[in-house]
Every structure is written in structure tokens, then in C-alpha cells.
Structure 1
Amino acid sequence: MRPAVSGAQTVASMLSHWSTVTPEAPFLVFDDEDVLTLTYRDGWELAARGSAVLASLGVGHGDRFAVVLGNCVEFFACWFGAARLGAVMVPVNPNSTADELTYFFEHASCRAVICSSRQQDAVRAAWPAEPALIVLCGKDFNDRSSAPPPAPDVTVSPLDPLAVLYTSGTTSRPKGVLVTHANYLAAGHTIAGQLRIRPDDRWLIVLPMFHANAQYYCVMSALVTGASVAVAARFSASHWIQQARRCHATLASLFAAPARMILAQPESATDRDNALRVTIFGQNLTPDQLRRFEDRFGCPLLQLYGMTETIAPPLMNPLYGPRDNMTVGLPTESGRVRIVDDPLDRTAGDLAPGQTGELLIGGEPGITLMAGYLDDPDTTAAAYVDGWLRTGDVVTRRHDEFIAFHDRAKDMIKRSGENVAAAEVERVVNEHPAVFESAVIGVPDPVRDEAIKAVVVRTENGSGLTESALITFCADRLARGKVPDHVEFTENLPRTSVGKIRKNLLRQPISKEED
């Protein structure tokens, strides 16, 4: 069977295509202490050297290996080298603890691991096999002083897995999402079409490369169009717009938290002096933050919705025509989105506009949806209902067809018999000028099932904000049953590596020593 989205192409064959058709066109720009630019020909040769290193470790078709690296050249050598070999990359957070690494290595049955010197102690503590199968990244991956090795004699199918991407695991052990070559290309084609990406476009990547956002939305949309990506070693709010200008970026991707950090930086008269034509983002910004970002940088924002499991974003605000960034946009593909009251009730139809329910995503596993969870057929089966992927997210389709995100189903607060979306309360709390950001959770209450608690980070000038003042502010803007009962102020909110707030940690009771 040939995937309809990408035909017989794989990630490696697509890279090979551009290395032949536009060999001198830029592909990868690394913006660190020194700027390094690799053309498409260089990218293909980088993949060859990466595949040679992997093959020397005994990694072949279908074998999995771990990559514990930040945003660097070697990450791409491993990724595209695996694509040439038909091997499977398991990229993990380079800040993972030894305990977390042990789980990834064992769960994915990794045959080898690639890391940098910064991670080697944790990797060695976690690695169960021979130390010789730990490779510290270095010049072997990008040594252009000699000819690259020949292509391996192996046949790779579009439906072969190329990566196992682990979910953030905020409530339990992470699940490994199987991502095929066809999955990657499908994500690239969707974003490229939505943003009208051309070969002269360039992404600025400041999010971590081990995460789906940078891989799916940025690198893959560039690869399918012959465009380029500029990769920052790390995110810097104070240098973000200078990086965009220095790298001649036309496209950028952010989450809400980094966007707020950027807005918190001092304004400059040169902020609008950039080539950015659009920035995509996920998670919620306030109307004031949206306006200030677009006015300050002269760059439109587009909110989208996606999960590691959904591959391409099923919902996105359009580049042209009406948009509403207080919603997650419109379906990117007709017939791919359903909203239902009870996913397990197979007799019930879709909800009418204006009604709230769970979002389901349609598609074909291994092509437009994940191929499944690694070695977990029961969890994979439970994720689907009659072929539709359950997201666990609560949304409303408005009468104008835009879809408003409310919250994760598990983040709905049950207060006196009524469901309250934490995200709705957060939006109001965040509108207070002294609030930098917040997280709203439900806490046990003997009378009302759950009480509403807001955990708040104040702005630099907001130290005078009190609990009573913020509750009064919310009472003027929310129905009585949605007003926070408690407010806790904190310096920082706990986050995953890509900026998602770890509400499970906020829900944990704080242990207090006895007097």
C-alpha cells in the first residue's frame, strides 16, 4: 500500500531528491557561537555519515537507538542517518535524569545511544549494555574532509517507523508514539499547504528538536518544499528577534510561555525590522498579548492544535481570511474532526454547533495518525473509537465553525455539580495586569466536590497584588460558580521541557513538618 499523502517517498528519498535538484540551496543553518550553513547536498552527506556511525554500532533496519542531544548538527545526522538505514531514532530530553533515561532505554530496547559530553554521566548511569555502545557526538558526524560513505543497500518503506517520540508523561510513565516516514511527510505537507511555504522560506527553530513540534511542523514542512531551517542551540527570550533577523527567518514556532517571555523583554525600535511573515503557536495567549506581539513584531500569529499522536495539526487558524486566535482554528482537512458527548456511545451523533464535547480526530494510522504506541496494543486500541483518535480534549464548535478549546477532560473542575474549564478561568486571571501567568486546578472540597484554586506568577511590578484583589477581579468577569476560591502566589510554575504546565505537581499536597 502506498500512502496517498507522500506516494512512495520516505524522509531519506525526499532529502536525496533536493540534494540532486537543488544541491546548493541552504537547508540547515545552525545559529550558535558560529553560524554554520549546510546545503541540501551537505545534508545528504551528513545523513550518510550519520548512517555510517550507526551501522558501526550494529544499528540496522528496524533497530532502535537513543539520541540524548540538544539542538545540534549531530541530532540531524542521527535522524537522517536513521532514515537512510531504516533504523528508528528515539530522541529524549537531554535534561532527563538517569532514572528517566533508564526507562527510555529499556522500554524502547535501544541498541545504542548517542549523547554529548554534557549528558554522558547520566547516560552511563542508565545504560544497561556495553559502554562501547555509547557514542559521544563529534566530528565523525560532519567531517567533510573525506568523501561520505556509500548509501546502504537497504529498502525503506514509507510505512516503516522512523522515530519513537515519548509523550511528556506528566501523570505517569511516558508512552512511546511510533512515527513513520509517511507520518513525517504528512505533517510537512499539511503545514506547508496551510502556510503556503516556498523554497525561499526559512524557519527559526528555538524549541527543542526532540519534541514533535520542531520535527513535524518546522523541519518536515521545509523538507517537502525545499525550504530551510535555522536552528538555535537554545531558546533565549532576549535574543529571539535578533536571531530571527540574523538568520533571515520568515517563519517561527512558539508556545505561549516563550511568547510571553519575549513580550516581557524591553521593546526596541528595531523589533519590526525582520522578515517574519507568520508565527505559529500553541496554548493560550490573552487578547492583549496577541495584539502586542503582532503590533510589536509586525508578524501575524496563528494558533493551532496538535498532539504527538495526531501528527499533522488537525486544527489551525487560516493564514488568509478571517481568523480568531482565541480559538484553535478550523479543520485543516475536511471530515477529520468530530465533537461528541460520549466517545464510547456509538449510537450518538456529533454535537451541534454551540455544544461542548470531546474532540475526536480521523485519519489513517501510520499515515495521518500515529502508527500506535510502542509495544502497547491495549493502550493503542483504547486510544481509538471506531477508527477515530480520542484526544481527551474538551472543545466547542462555534456557529462560525471555529473550534474553541476549553481544557483537557482531566482538567475540568467539578464544582457543586457543574463542570468548570480551568482554561476559561485562567484566561480571565491572566488578563489582570499584575499577573504574568497562572494555572487553575481543582482541589478537594467537602461541600462542593472541588474548589477552584489559582496558582499565580505575578509580573515584576505586580508584587502588590493580593488574593482578595484577584478574586474580586475575577468575580467581575466570571459567573459566580467559576470564580477562584483560593489563590496561591508562586515564583514559577513547574513545566515540561516544552513549556506545558505540570498541573499534576500542583495538585500534589504539600507535606508540612510537624511543629
Structure 2
Amino acid sequence: MDIIGKRTLPGLLKEKTTLHPDKPFILFEDNNEQIFTLNYKQFSEKVNRLSMVFLQHGVEKGDHVTLHLPNGLEFMMSWFALAHIGAVMVPTNILSTADEMDYVISHSKSVLLITEQIYLDKFNDSARNSPSLREILLARYEGDPFRNKSLHALMEEVKEEASSIQLESEDVAAMLYTSGTTSQPKGVLITHANYVYAGEVMSKSIRLSPDDRQLIVLPLFHGNAQYYSTMSALIVGGSIAITERFSASRYFKQAIRMKATVGSLFAAPIRMILGQVFDPDDRNHQLRLIWFAQVVTEAQLDLFEERYHTRLLQLYGMTEILGAPLMVPLDSAGKSVGIGRPTLGFQVKVVNEDSQEVPPGEVGQLIVNGVPGRSLMKGYFNNPAATQETIQDGWLYTGDNVRMDQEGCFSFVDRKKDMIKRSGENVSANEIEKVISDHPAVSDCVAIGISDEIRDESIKVYVVLRANEEVSEEDIISYCKIRLSKFKVPEYVEFIAELPRTSVGKIQKHLIRKCHEEGMKQHG
């Protein structure tokens, strides 16, 4: 037996509700700055009602249900209600296009979709393209035409409690899609035990207490908001403060209003906050620390901590690993310019191409030891080949290059995988290339990430046109805008005669990046 035991999400919520029935669990601030509060008892009651709604709509244990929702109470209630009946939450990005959502709904074989009225146009063809999808229900809907689809109305009509369903800790509770390095996203299977493990690791790494309140401004469909913030708070019986969206100008004002004590950000939002006109009143918050991922400069880190009087604590994580395997220790004296040391329960190695451990100071791929379904994802949905490639003999291959120093501290070097990090979003270069290659005037193309002071990386594509074809940079970008999510659309397009390739036809991206750097020097 390990620290997880046999716990499940419903069991954990029930335990904390028994201990703290009248204690605030969720505070939610919508885009109009209106705050809604639910204590543990109220949240549990709503979860139970929504569980019954799902059962009445034919959702069974093991069924997949897609959530296409912004941050809010409905997302949280749906997550735990689905877990209560053994169903599987499939959370998605509200910026995803109709084509991208069709893929997720079809691939996941979702039987139900929960969204809001403003997103309905995306799903006009979903029923035809996804035979398993039976119905669409609407959150935050109070009108008459779709009253029979309104979560709120349906929950009001429920008269009985959801029956008890036998759950095991290693039952799958969610499937989070990650782009990976291929054009098609993979479904990462997350179990009840996975969620419990993440909460245990994260809460103990920063000594979270029942008096702490996690501030969630990052999207709830991300592992970050689920693993690091929500689960750590639930494990200790703390609370969470959720905003509908991130606002650089309002971040600390929201923290003050909702009395948050711990936050979580990416590097790009940190730089966006630093780009705001400083308001000294923003220092009147109670945030004792803010977790963050991805690289900020030492100067940016110093300025943020000096300006806002809170500590930034860097970590390393990914969707497939539950809890951050590396984090700057809470009690360390150093700055968070690296990604820290191994956290409780994790073992890590830095290895070469032959999976042999490299000595300190050398760059290699980070691999993380764990147990699938408990500290590591259970696997990729319907993709045993990808699962076996990623998890080998209990070691998860992250695809990220790091370096460990003589003291056992780790620093991030680059991404072994062909991934672009843009404002906290993972963007598959291959996915962009596939879309642009479908343009009738395009013969070949390649996408790369280029340095961006605000977004971490911007997206640039090099395009080879077919003979006698003429299109502009704006034409390519406009073509992408209707086929890709906003955060995947390239900012820059450059036309070239041919792409450098190896003898076996593989594009030499290092030469493409060198071409970009030389171009920057010439224009600098």
C-alpha cells in the first residue's frame, strides 16, 4: 500500500465535506467580477444532483463525456459529478475549432457534450461525425428554447440522490488531450489514484494547510489547474478561488478580493503582469508563493518578487506525470532559475540516446520513475504503441532535455520533442505543418518556435510554394485562422525556395533555426 491507499475523488470529497461542511470550498469570479461561493456541503449537494442528471441521461460507468467550458462552477461540478458515477471527464480548450472538437469527440467516443450556448455553432456537425454522441447539455443557460438542455434547470428538477456506484482507485476519471509531437492529439488517461497522488505531492511540497486558498487563473482543462491547484487544496481541506479567465491587470486585485494564499502561473503570464503599470495597492495580497512553470529570466524573477512581495517557485511537470517530479524546494535559499530537485515520491534520471545515465553537467533526456495509474498516467487512450514508447520499464520518457549539476539541481535546456511553447500552450509544429501543407498553393513547409519576450515563443513557418503559384503571408495566416485554434496560428511567414533535408528526407530544423537567427542578425 502507498500514500494513495484506495481513495477515489468521490471518497475524498465526502471525507472533506464531513470534516468541513460549512467551510468555503470554491469562490468563483466571472468576467463581470461577480463572485459566487459554495461551501463543501453545498458543492457536494450540487455534485450529487448533477450526478443524477447524468445518470438520467444514460451516462454509465466508463462512458466519456466531453466538457467544452470556460473556468467556472459548472466545470468543477461536472468533473466531480462524472467521477461520482465512474464516468470519464474529457476537458477541452474553448479556443479549439470545430474540426479540432470533432476529432476529440469522435476519438474519445464521448456520449455527452457539456458546453455553453455561445459555442454551439462549433458542434453543428458533431452528431453526424461522432455517432456515439447522444446529446448536448448547456451550462449557464436560463432561457426557454433549450430549457430541457439546461444543467441548472435539470439539476433543479432532480428529486432523488444518485445511487452508489462501486469505484476503484485505479479506475479512469479523466482523459486529458495533449498534442504531443504528432498532428493528432493523444488522450492521456488519468485515474482517481492519479489525482490523489498529485494532490498529496503538491500539498506536501509547499506545506499547504486547511487555511490556504489556491488561486486558479489558468484554464481548468489543463493538468496544472487540476493537479497542482485543485487537488492539493482538496487533499488538505483547503479552498480554491477560480477566475473565469486570466487578466494580467487584475491578477493581484482578484487575489486580494478572494483572499488567495497560493497561486500558479506560466512564464508568459508572469511577463504580462510585469508589463502592466505597477499599482502599489497590488501588494496588499496574501499570496505567500506562486508556483510557475517555464523559463523566466533572473531579472524578471527578481523584479516580480521585489514588486509584489511574494515568492516565485519554479517546477517542472507534464500532463502524463501526476504532480511535479521536480520543484525548487520551499526551504531553499537559491532563486527559482532552475527547475529544482526531485519531489517526494519521484525518482528521475538524465539519460542519453541509449538510455544510459549521463554524468552531472551533461545534457540528456529527463526520465521519471513511477507506477502507471498511480504516479504516472495509466496510458494513452487506444494507443498502446505510444504508451509503450513513453513508459519503458517503469520510466516515463519526457522528451525534454535537461542538465543536472553536481548538487543535484536540474535546469531545463530544450525540448527534445518538436513542440512549441506559446503563452503556456503546447503547440505541435507537425499539426501546423499539416494544415498549411493542405493549402493548394503550398508544396512544402516547416514550423518552428522563435524567441518571444512575452509569449515564450512565437510561431514562424517557412513555406515552399508550388510552381507558378503566388500567395501572400497574409493569405497563409488567414488560411490558418479558420483551421487552427487562435494560439496555434503562426505570427510570421517566410517563403523560401526549398527546405534543407537529410539523405532520407527528414527536414533539418536546426538549419531552419540557423537561417532565422542569421536573418535576425542581418536585420538587427
Structure 2-normalised TM-score? 0.77
Residue in 1 that maps onto 2:399: 392
Asked if residue 330 in structure 1 is aligned to residue 341 in structure 2, the reply is: yes
Question: Partner amino acid for 1:283?
Answer: Q
1:25 is matched with: 23
The change in CA–CA distance for 1:297 and 1:149 in structure 2 (over 3 A counts) is: farther
Report whether the alignment pairs 1:409 with 2:416. Answer: yes
For 1:393 and 1:142, how far apart are their aligned partners in 2? 44
Instruction: Kindly report which structure 2 residues correspond to 1:333-412, keeping only aligned pairs within 5 A, or say none.
Output: 333=344, 336-342=347-353, 344-345=354-355, 348=356, 350-410=357-417
- Asked if 1:259 is matched to 2:275, the reply is no
Q: What is the 5 A alignment of 1:163-312? A: 163-169=174-180, 171-312=182-323
| Percentage of pairs with the same residue | 40
Post-superposition offset of 1:283: 0.5
- Seen in structure 2, the aligned counterparts of structure 1 residues 392 and 132 have a Cα distance that, compared at 3 Å, is closer
Cα deviation, residue 142, structure 1: 5.4
> 2:282 is paired with a residue of what secondary structure?
coil
- 1:149-197 alpha-carbon deviations (Å, 9 max, x no partner): 3132310111000000001456411110000000001001111001111
- Amino acid in the other structure paired with 1:86: G
- Structure 2 Cα separation of the partners of residues 183 and 88 of structure 1: 13
Supply the distance in 1 between the matched residues of 2:374 and 2:40 (Cα, whole angstroms): 25
Residue 146 of structure 1 and its aligned partner are, at CA, apart by 7.5
Task: State whether residues 99 and 126 of structure 1, in contact with CA within 8 Å, keep that contact through their aligned partners in structure 2.
Answer: no
Aligned residue among 5, 8, 12 for 2:6: 8
Quote the offset at 1:35 in angstroms.
Answer: 0.8
Deviation at residue 333 of structure 1 after TM alignment: 3.0
| C-alpha distance in structure 1 between counterparts of 2:111 and 2:453, whole Å | 47
CA contact (8 A) 2:109 2:133 kept: no
Whether the 8 Å CA contact 2:27–2:241 is kept in 1: the answer is yes
Q: Is the 8 A contact 2:203 2:232 kept in 1?
A: yes
The structure-2 alpha-carbon separation of the partners of 1:323 and 1:411, relative to structure 1 and needing over 3 Å to count, comes to: farther
Task: Report the secondary structure of 1:203's partner residue.
Answer: strand
8 Å contact from structure 2 (residues 137, 151) kept in 1: no
Query: Residue 77 of structure 1 aligns to which amino acid in structure 2?
Result: M
What is the alpha-carbon distance in structure 2 between the residues aligned to residue 231 and residue 104 of structure 1? 26
Other structure's SS at 2:137 match: strand
Question: Does structure 2 conserve the Cα–Cα contact (< 8 Å) formed by 1:248 and 1:275?
Answer: yes
1:458–1:164 CA distance, 2 compared to 1 (3 A): closer
TM superposition shift of 1:386: 2.0
Return the offset for 1:136.
1.1
- One-letter amino acid of the counterpart of residue 108, structure 1: S
Superposed CA deviations along residues 87-140 of structure 1, whole A, max 9, x for unmatched, are 001011112111001100111010111110111110233233488611112476
State the shift of 1:56 in Å. Answer: 2.0
| TM-fit CA distance, 1:268 | 1.2
What does residue 136 of structure 2 align with?
Answer: 134
Structure 2 distance, partners of 1:454, 1:65, is: 33
AA aligned to 2:9 is: V
* 1:298 to partner: Cα distance: 0.5
Counterpart CA distance in 1 for 2:49 and 2:136 is: 17
- Once residues 164 and 54 of structure 2 are traced to their aligned partners in structure 1, the CA distance between those partners, rounded to angstroms, is 14
Q: Name the counterpart of 1:99.
A: 99
- For the 8 Å contact 1:67–1:75, the answer to whether it is kept is yes
Aligned residues: 435
C-alpha spacing 1:147/1:111, structure 2 compared with 1 (3 Å) = closer
Change in Cα spacing, 1:327 to 1:365, as seen in structure 2 (3 Å) is: same
Report the alpha carbon displacement of residue 398 of structure 1 after superposing the two structures with TM: 0.6
Residue by residue over 1:445-490, the C-alpha shift from the partner in whole angstroms, topping out at 9 and shown as x without a partner, is xxxxxxxx9845578xxxxxxxxxxxxxxxxxxxxxxxxxxxxxxx
Q: Following TM superposition, by how much is the alpha carbon of 1:141 offset from its aligned partner in structure 2, in angstroms?
A: 4.4
For 1:335 and 1:86, locate their aligned partners in 2 and report how far apart those are by CA, in whole Å.
Answer: 28
CA deviation digits over 1:314-357, x for unaligned, max 9?
00011112333111000003661011112x44xx3x22211211
Residues 73 and 91 of structure 1: is their aligned pair in 2 closer, same or farther, counting only changes over 3 Å?
same
Tell me if structure 1 keeps the 8 A contact 2:9–2:195: yes
Aligned mate of 2:167, from 147, 151, 156? 156
> CA contact under 8 A between 2:95 and 2:486: conserved in structure 1?
no
Residue pair 1:102, 1:127 contacting (<8 A) in 2 also: no
Give the letter aligned to residue 390 of structure 2.
Answer: A
1:120–1:136 CA contact under 8 A, matched in 2: no
Cα distance in 1 between the residues matched to 2:97 and 2:181 = 15
Offset of residue 68 of structure 1: 0.6
1:43-62 pair list within 5 angstroms: 43-62=43-62
Q: Distance in 2 between matches of 1:234 and 1:199?
A: 25
Go from structure 1 to structure 2 and tell me whether the alpha carbon gap of 1:500 and 1:315 turns closer, same or farther (over 3 Å shift): farther
Amino acid paired to 1:368: S
- Give me the whole-angstrom Cα distance separating, in 1, the residues matched to 2:6 and 2:104: 31
Q: Which residue of 2 aligns with 1:83?
A: 83
1:268-291 deviation per Cα after TM superposition (whole angstroms, max 9, x unaligned): 121211100000000110111100
The CA RMSD measured in Å over matched residues stands at 3.0
Change (3 A) 1:210 1:411: closer
User: How many angstroms apart in 1 are the aligned matches of 2:289 and 2:159?
Assistant: 37
In structure 1, the gaps of 5 or more residues are 413-421, 427-438, 442-452, 460-493
Q: Distance in 1 between matches of 2:486 and 2:290?
A: 19
Q: Does 1:69 align with 2:69?
A: yes
Letter matched to residue 39 of structure 1: N
1:393-429 residue CA offsets vs partner (Å, 9 max, x unmatched): 11111112110110111469xxxxxxxxx99xx9xxx
Residues in 1 aligned to 2:238 and 2:159: alpha-carbon distance in whole angstroms: 23
The AA in structure 2 aligned to 1:54 is: F
Which residue matches 1:475?
A: none
SS at match of 1:327: coil
**Paired amino acid for 1:9:** R
TM-score by length of 1: 0.79
Distance 1:404 1:338 in 2: 13
> Secondary structure of the residue that 2:170 maps to in structure 1?
coil
| 1:361/1:148 CA distance change after superposition, 3 Å | farther
State the alpha-carbon separation in 1 of the partners of residues 91 and 229 from structure 2.
Answer: 16
